[in-house]
Amino acid sequence: MPSVRDELERGAEVTRVVLDSAFAPWGGVRVCIDAYETSVRTATDFQLTVARNVRLEPIRSFAATCANVTRDVAAAQLSTARWFLDR
């Protein structure tokens, strides 16, 4: 009887194959993850630009906070996605 770990590994492998097939028209999963990372970096850079150029302090702080949260959440998502793909 297979262990729970074996079943999870098998499920993860099936998921990887399905994702690779689904994202193949766009260059594969890794290319899509890289594009997501680039878009997050662009959004974060824009938020930081707003924070630097707005003179009203509450808006400046809010924009900087949004940039930090966006960056941190995306970093966690990207790390998890890459870890999953590298297994």
pTM (predicted TM-score): 0.74
Please report the pLDDT score of residue 3 as a whole number. 86
Helix (H, G, I), strand (E, B) or coil at 28: coil
Q: Other C-beta atoms within 10 Å of 87: how many?
A: 9
Helix pair 29-53, 57-86: axis angle to 10 deg: 170
Helix pair 57-86, 4-23: axis angle to 10 deg: 110
CA atoms of 60 and 27, how far apart (whole Å)? 38
Please report the pLDDT score of residue 6 as a whole number. 83
- The answer, yes or no, to whether residue 75 has pLDDT greater than 90, is yes
Query: What is the tally of structural domains in the chain?
Result: 1
Q: Which domain holds residue 48?
A: 4-86
DSSP string, 69-85: HHHHHHHHHHHHHHHHH
